[in-house]
A and B are shown apart, each in its own frame.
Chain A
Amino acid sequence: MSVLVLAEHNNQSLKEATKKALTAALKIFSPAHVVVIGNNCASAANDAATLEGVEKVLLVEDTTYENMLCEPTADLLFELMKSYDYLVSAATTNGKNILPRVAAKLDVSQISEIISVIDNKTFQRPIYAGNAIATVESSTEKNVITVRTTAFETAQVGSSIATIEKIDAGNNPGLSEFIEEKVSSSERPELTSAGIIVSGGRGMQSGDNFKMLESVADKLGAAVGASRAAVDAGFVPNEYQVGQTGKVVAPELYIAVGISGAIQHLAGMKDSKVIVAINKDDEAPIFEVADYGLVADLFDAVPELDKELEKIQK
């Protein structure tokens, strides 16, 4: 049996999400191979080679793969999968975009967003926004799997370094072209790997008011997130969204400010270790999942929280 893990990277370093997907892959079969597809991305391959449980890293570098366009990347993975039984990726937007295209070419179903590996054919995955957990069993030889990263630990650096094998690029079917990417640069940690997240909802009333949350976040070394309502209202960009169809997070501490707690939002954060809710509506469903609920006007409570945290820092 053999497992191939698709690496998520920015052509420089390996993303945390892949280290978690690797942990899931190793529960299926150990050791695993990792494939790094990109352009001038040898350093990401070097990162992957240091991880415990990685036997070999396949490195494919070509301008075709600079932005991981779906069609050429899926074609290449389809060719590579002739020698593997499992293809595993983190359920990032790249993973979710590319893997089903490979699965269909292999004539197998994909098992999406697994949260546990029961055996090498049986997995658990959330359905209905996490309100039910399905145990599913695959009947095919080859399997394509995406991994919900919050459910698995980060793979650690191992004692040996895996070999890196360069693989030739495949053909570019020329169906799509990259134009541009608008990625917000922030000093704060990424939402999906942050230990603490401060999120705002419709109650924030404006994008400007998110500055209050940013100030709190910076004192805690936290990431800033948002509910769908806040993103739809244009307070913050889409990449802030936590929820069923946004980012699924499970930090040590999640502070929900002015968020009522729709099912779809809870789906994205209810596995956080400690949940704090600040909302003036004491009936808001967010309080049902909160460890510490504070019924208060956020415009009083957040500046006060900011001051208290400043005191602690001193």
Chain B
Amino acid sequence: MKILVPVKRVVDYNVKIRVDKETNAVDLNNIKMSINPFDEIAVEEAIRIKEAGQCDEIVVVSLGPEQSKETIRNALAMGADRGIHVKTDHSPEPLLVAKILEKVCEKEDYDLIILGKQSIDDDCNQTGQMLSALLNRSLGTYASKVEIENDTIIVTREIDGGLQTIKLKKPAVLTTDLRLNEPRYASLPNIMKAKQKTIDELDPSDLGIDMTPKVSTKKVEEPPKRVGGGKVESIQELVDKLKNVSGVI
């Protein structure tokens, strides 16, 4: 079995971003970038499946600028086998990402594709679902447990009311939720080894996809600031304020 894991380079989850009023965009200068946390969980899951003897090869693919190679190396250091870098200047919208991934899947066949459920920059939560549609494959989003059986995959999903378990026919597309696993740290020897692993390059223009965006961003603003910081000294004062000032209890 072969697994494809798409990963995205995003602003690190600990960074509080700032909107640049002049460019009308999020200021990405000198900001720490990392692998999208949900994608890291996807890489970890693929590695665990391989360690269980249920997968022969893990391929990691990333779309983005030259630096996306670092993100791929990151995944290779965790234990993925090789990488594909699709070079783009900007970050295309999820539909276009899904179309590129569809082409990647046409070049080589993958039994399982595991993606993060959403990237923490644009918070779209679409790519995995869209890819499953384009490939006409079964879909298991928000996975918190994955069990591979011969031709099927049992997926437990985090849903609004609790947990749902479904059985998917292979080949399938999965997206990860937070509690699927805890990603490992790459060890120093593995980081060294990852430098020897192959990363192939792909040019989106060779894939025959119309990259014209269907949705354009007109502007980006800071949300209205919440004025907080009020303090109370005691529970009595708190209850009194809630009852008589705010009128919420």
Q: What are the interface flags for A169-181 relative to B under an 8 Å C-beta threshold, 1 for contact and 0 otherwise?
A: 0000111111111
Kindly state the separation between the CA atoms of A112 and B231 in the bound complex, as whole angstroms. 36
What is the 8 Å Cβ interface bit string for chain A, positions 101-125, against chain B (1 contact, 0 not)? Answer: 1111101111111000000001000
Interface positions, chain B 47-80, Cβ under 8 Å from A, are none
Tell me how many residue pairs across A and B have CB atoms closer than 8 Å: 259
Contacts A/B (CB < 8 Å), 14 sampled: A70-B129, A99-B129, A104-B134, A110-B124, A127-B26, A127-B123, A133-B221, A176-B168, A179-B166, A179-B167, A182-B162, A276-B242, A292-B238, A308-B235
Contacts of B136 in A (CB 8 A): 173
Contact status B133-A133, CB under 8 Å = no
Of the candidates B126, B137, B239, which one forms a contact with A100 in the assembled complex, judged by CB atoms under 8 Å apart?
B126
A280 at the interface (CB under 8 A from B): no
Judge whether B129 and A100 touch: CB under 8 Å.
yes
Query: Separation in Å of the A205 CB from the closest CB of chain B?
Result: 20
Q: Are B218 and A135 in contact (CB under 8 A)?
A: yes
Contact pick for B231, options A180, A244, A295, CB 8 Å: A295
B138 at the interface (CB under 8 A from A): yes
Query: In the bound complex, do residue A294 and residue B232 qualify as a contact, i.e. CB atoms below 8 Å apart?
Result: yes
| Contact A220:B249 (CB < 8 A) given known A109-B214, A292-B231 | yes
B125 an interface residue at 8 Å Cβ cutoff?
Answer: yes
A273 is an interface residue with CB less than 8 A from chain B: yes
Would you give the 0/1 interface string for B154-169, flagging 1 where the beta carbon is closer than 8 Å to chain A? Answer: 1001111111111111
Residues of B within 8 A of A132 (CB): 17, 19, 26, 220-223
Cβ of B111 within 8 Å of any chain A Cβ, yes or no, is no
Query: Chain B: interface residue count, which band?
Result: 35 or more
Residue in B19, B130, B178, B236 whose beta carbon sits within 8 Å of that of A101 in the complex: B130
B11 touches A238 (CB 8 A): no
A194 at the A/B interface (Cβ < 8 Å)?
no
A291 and B230 in contact, given A103-B95, A109-B95 (Cβ under 8 angstroms): yes
A126 within 8 A of B: yes
Task: Determine the chain B residues whose CB is within 8 A of the CB of A238 once the complex forms.
Answer: 144, 158, 162-163, 177, 179
Closest B residue by C-beta to A220:
B249
With the chains together, A74 CA to B118 CA distance in Å? 19
Q: Is A245 an interface residue (CB 8 A)?
A: yes
Which residues in chain B, 2-55, are within 8 Å of chain A measured between CB atoms?
11, 13-14, 16-17, 19, 26, 38
- Contact mask B210-249 → A, CB, 8 Å, 1/0? 0001111111111100101111111110110111001011
Indicate if B82 sits at the interface (CB-CB under 8 A): no
B-chain residues with CB within 8 Å of residue A179 when the two chains form the complex = 154, 165-167
> Which A residues touch B123, using CB under 8 A?
112-113, 126-129, 244
**A74–B226 CB distance below 8 A:** no
Segment with Cβ contacts to B, from A53-61, A136-144, A159-167: A136-144
Query: Taking the complex as formed, is B142 at the interface, i.e. its CB lies under 8 A from any CB of chain A?
Result: yes
Complex: A250 Cα to B220 Cα, angstroms: 22
Give min CB distance, A209 to chain B, whole Å. Answer: 17
Q: Are B239 and A309 in contact (CB under 8 A)?
A: yes
Q: Which of the residues B98, B138, B165, B216 comes within 8 Å of A104, measured between beta carbons?
A: B98
- Taking A104-B98, A176-B168, A288-B228 as contacts, is the C-beta distance between A128 and B120 under 8 angstroms? yes
Q: Is B122's CB within 8 Å of the partner chain A?
A: yes
B166:A69 contact, CB within 8 angstroms = yes
B249 contact set on A, CB distance < 8 A: 196, 220, 253, 309, 312
Chain A nearest Cβ from B77, distance in angstroms? 24
Q: A108-B95, A128-B123 are in contact. Are A74 and B133 (CB under 8 A)?
A: yes
How many Å from the CB of B122 to the closest CB on chain A? 5
Chain B residue at smallest Cβ distance from A263: B16
Interface size band for A? 35 or more
**At the interface, yes or no: A92 with Cβ under 8 Å from chain B?**
yes
Which residue on chain A has the smallest CB distance to residue B123?
A127
- A239 is an interface residue with CB less than 8 A from chain B: yes
Since A97-B141, A101-B129, A109-B94 are in contact, a sample of 4 more A-B pairs with Cβ atoms closer than 8 Å, ordered by chain A residue number, is: A102-B133, A132-B222, A133-B221, A180-B165
Is there an interface contact between A136 and B216, defined as CB atoms closer than 8 Å?
A: yes
Complexed CA–CA distance, A263 and B238 (Å) = 25
- CB of B234, distance to nearest CB on chain A (Å): 8
State A92–B129 Cα separation when bound (angstroms): 15
- B139, A93: Cβ atoms closer than 8 Å: no
- Tell me if B85 is interfacial: C-beta within 8 Å of chain A: no
Contact of B238 (CB < 8 Å), options: A139, A220, A294 = A294
Q: Are B163 and A181 in contact (CB under 8 A)?
A: yes
Q: Determine whether A274 belongs to the interface, using a CB cutoff of 8 Å to chain B.
A: yes
Q: Is A9 an interface residue (CB 8 A)?
A: no
Q: Are A192 and B160 in contact (CB under 8 A)?
A: yes
A304 at the interface (CB under 8 A from B): yes
CB distance from B245 to the nearest CB of A (A): 9
Contact of A140 among B165, B214, B233 (CB under 8 A): B214
Q: How far is the CA of A189 from the CA of B106 in the complex (A)?
A: 47
Indicate which residue in B26, B178, B243 contacts A232 across the interface (CB closer than 8 Å): B178
Set B121, B125, B238: member contacting A112, Cβ < 8 A = B125
